[in-house]
A and B are shown apart, each in its own frame.
Chain A
């Protein structure tokens, strides 16, 4: 059964004084199955961040709807939106978005505290997870005392400690060096192997090549998608890379035709 269904989503931004209209998303359809690991690729300005914001219920589509577990997001009232997000979605951001005035532990606990959970229960959830993520010895440190990779792992812990139905990641490796990127991608793969559904927006072919399926977005529409099947990481990497090259040459030709 599809955990996430995106049905004909369109998003038009109107500039502040009503002058220009910018079409960020034209007509996006796709669905994500339970336990899938999907990467969304596209250039800057292709609309992928807009798409993610709509999936995260941070933004509303102009047309169309998003269904999570069969529930349309548009039906959720503004009041219960925050709670809905907290209970169903987990977020990982490019710049980690950890609060500087909290230790890693408190950062991870934040959504649970908001949900009103008891301290002992939170600690029970955290311990095994921290071991898996390799941050169990850093829990009492502040974000500025640990490396970027460690901060991002803490951010992942914060995202999944609520046991969300869907984990959304926005360029999670964007601010990391290659070694941290590798270990972070391993974490994602491990989580996915454990049954976690993941949707990741990324620039990086390397990050995308670890996913089970890659969606290519261009000029506000899903342009193409490829499945890993039983290809190895390297083979999948090659296929993604080829697809991107083809997309690029298409748009180059398109540009020439226009001229």
Chain B
């Protein structure tokens, strides 16, 4: 019987503390299920063999698994130390009753084992049940494959199981060590009296507050200044870190500094409305700053991840349309005076399969590396000692291409050109020279998406293909013949083979005159596995973070409730009506909980330049869509947040009002 004493005590403890332990167990199980699912997806053979293009998907999923595990470990650890802190009194009592610290450690050991077992049991069961569903979801996101093609039934992934078990084993072992540490280094008397010790008013940490403002400002400035991907890569990490640290500093020190400032203003402070609110907020911020800053950072991450990946998913078709104006684009590179009959060869090949190319167009184009000096485009001569003189890539094309791409036709004389404009050419004059030939610049236009988005790419449009050919000839440049047309996309594979194999298929290429063939739907597959993978990971992490946030908010409500109940009683005794007390406390609680959301919104707004730049570098620039998605994501998230708040607020009121009744 004695052997089971500690095991039983541990079980009783969990039962007794179920109000705090149940949410911990639930969120732990959810985390476990999610980790199992993402782990099993990343190891899923079906997904790997799904399409040749999606080799990248398992890699993205694996990276996602690592990130998810990292955050999950932090959350589990954080939540447990919160639980431990709230149980100090209980541990103190056990020690007073004669339990030694090693006995307590034994109880803690059993408690940890129970929590681990329950978490793993429910988590893995749920994970295995939902695994298939998630697999289908991923396939749905990837598109193309219908659910019918997936073998039904129960799948089980041994490696995923092993990984998740190992992960939880290690994390819970660390949690156990931490709990023992907490018990070991606290004296029983201080454990018992901790609750009664008067809470000191926090000091104003003015340096920390200023540092917080500076860091946040720096982060924001970096975000605004990051105008290209190179800068973003350089500034991303410092910007994110300074915003995170800045947020923590501002929540911890800035809020208190501000409140103290308000308190100094006597005519403001000594008003019925502000009096209890200001002084109450000082203490609330002291206790909750760290948790709230955490909630804020999590919210920002969820918002940015979900909205940017949604932009990618939704904008993808747009992108593909600008990259490939037609379903199939065939490019043949020829000598300047060589005429190619590849167009007729392709048409013949298509006719054999009963396919009539639609919307067919033919363009000509040639490109060269140039320098722009004295208003002239001259041949680029590599200067290995200087980075300053980077080459411009000049693409020369005929007017029909421009009209086709933009839908705007600007009539050009033989000696006129359009330049698709570009900030790198500030000294552009009305006269310019290309390949030694003089042209008048008719108009500077916006860059064409997909062709000259970067500062290094310049597009020159000449009046017709004869001028273009003549130019290429004087320069001895090869010309690209481009034949683009629409056809049913589901038949491209049948006719052109697969993107990765057709180059090896000599007979196939022979039929198409060894031209380069790009099919839009092949790129779509490729893009979907990248964007879809990112989108899935974002959704996944979003859910994981939200679960953690719910838990954090729940615990905050509990601790706030316990702190407030005595205040409630005293204020009523001094002559505040129950309604008044409720109202002041509610407004404080609202401020505390919605501060992170508002801050997260501000963070997200300052993140927009980065999102914009990243998306535009990926040719996904559709500002209206981006804002719309950001807005919708934020609204959905706010509603979710408010629901979480409302649900947990009930617990708060229950704690507070039960004690009020008791004391009166």
Binding site for B on A (CB under 8 A): 53, 58-59, 79, 81-83, 85-86, 89, 91, 93, 97-102, 106, 109-111, 113-114, 116, 118-119, 122, 142-145, 158, 162
Contact = CB atoms under 8 A, between A and B. Distances in A.
Given A110-B275, A116-B272, A122-B270, A101 B283 contact: yes
A127 to B, nearest CB: 15
Contacts of A106: 275, 279
Given A113-B270, A114-B272, 6 more contacts: A79-B579, A109-B275, A111-B574, A116-B271, A142-B201, A143-B198
Given A100-B198, A101-B199, A143-B198, A85 B271 contact: no
B264 interface: no
B574 A158 contact: yes
A101 B280 contact: yes
A106 B200 CA distance: 15
A114 B574 contact: yes
Given A97-B570, A99-B570, A113-B271, A119 B266 contact: yes
B275 A144 contact: no
Contacts of A101: 199, 201, 279-280, 282-283, 567
B577 interface: yes
B580 interface: yes
Nearest to B570: A97
A116 B274 CA distance: 11
B573 A97 contact: yes
B386 interface: no
B576 interface: yes
Contact of B575 (A79, A82, A119): A82
Contacts of A119: 266-267, 270
Interface residues of B, number: 30
A83 B575 CA distance: 6
A200 B573 CA distance: 16
B580 to A, nearest CB: 7
A79 B573 CA distance: 15
Contacts of B97: none
Given A110-B275, A113-B271, A144-B198, A85 B570 contact: no
Contacts of A99: 567, 570-571
B298 to A, nearest CB: 28
A16 to B, nearest CB: 10
B423 interface: no
Nearest to B286: A101
> Which one of B270, B275, B567, B573 has the greatest number of beta carbons of chain A within 10 Å?
B270
B664 interface: yes
A109 B263 CA distance: 14
Interface of B: 197-201, 266-267, 270-272, 275-276, 279-280, 282-283, 567, 569-580, 664
A111 B580 CA distance: 13
Contact of A91 (B197, B283, B573, B577): B573
Contact of A114 (B200, B283, B576): B576
Nearest to A97: B570
B585 to A, nearest CB: 13
B300 to A, nearest CB: 30
7 contacts: A82-B572, A82-B575, A85-B575, A101-B199, A110-B574, A111-B575, A116-B271
A106 B569 CA distance: 17
A144 B198 CA distance: 6
B260 to A, nearest CB: 13
4 shortest interchain CB distances as A-B pairs:
A144-B198, A86-B575, A82-B577, A119-B270
Contacts of A79: 577, 579
Contacts of B571: 99, 110
Contacts of B271: 113, 116
Contacts of B200: 142, 144
A106 B570 CA distance: 14
A83 B577 contact: yes
A86 to B, nearest CB: 3
Contact of B199 (A98, A100, A111): A100
A101 B577 CA distance: 20
Contacts of B279: 101-102, 106
Contacts of A97: 569-570, 573-574
A91 B574 contact: yes
A109 B276 CA distance: 11
A118 B571 CA distance: 20
Contacts of B573: 58, 91, 93, 97
A79 B571 CA distance: 16
A58 B576 CA distance: 12
A101 B199 CA distance: 7
A113 B272 contact: yes
B577 A81 contact: yes
Contacts of B579: 79
> Which one of A91, A113, A116, A142 has the greatest number of beta carbons of chain B within 10 Å?
A113
Contacts of B266: 119
B592 to A, nearest CB: 15
Contacts of A59: 664
Contacts of A122: 270
Contacts of A81: 577
A97 B275 CA distance: 18
Contacts of B275: 106, 109-110, 113-114
Contacts of A118: 267, 270
Nearest to B275: A113
Contacts of A142: 198, 200-201
Contact of B664 (A58, A114, A143): A58
Nearest to B270: A119
Nearest to A96: B570
Contacts of B578: 82
